[in-house]
Amino acid sequence: MRPRLATIGSAITLALAVMSGAVCAQEAALTGDPVAGEKSFKKCKACHEIGPEAKSKVGPLLTGIVGRPAASIDGFAYSEALIAKRAEGLIWTPETLDPYLKNPKEFIPGAKMVFAGIKKDQERADVIAYLATFP
């Protein structure tokens, strides 16, 4: 009976290793490229600025967005929907920026941002990687 348990244990270990490798491969595929993200960020420049001298425009400045609470730029007129999300504790992390950038109106119904979203997973990962280069 012991050999059978060892075989089952080995099979489970192998299955977990394969699944883990698949998850790692998927995550690696979505690692953002900030250089590509800078190119994609051109879509955002009509409303947003980023960098040391950036200022809010139609949309708030995005310098330091990664890790920042939502609706937290002093003096910017955020929508009530975004202010409510901040009150709920929304912090802009790669994990929260991703669904927001995919479909802003779905992620925060009632938000002012009229951008349709970035549908391609890799392009969103690239933009988020670019945003993260401006702490």
- Hey, where are the domains in the chain? 1-30, 32-131
Where does 80-120 have alpha helices with state H? 80-87, 94-102, 104-107
Is domain 32-131 classified as CATH 2.30.30.240? no
pLDDT given at position 26 = 41
33-90 residue pLDDT tens? 999 999 999 999 999 999 999 999 999 999 999 999 999 999 999 999 999 999 999 9
pLDDT class of 12 with cuts at 50, 70, 90: very low
Is the confidence at residue 17, as pLDDT, over 60? Answer: no
CA atoms within 13 A on the CB side of 39: 7
The two structure tokens encoding residue 127: 């933009």
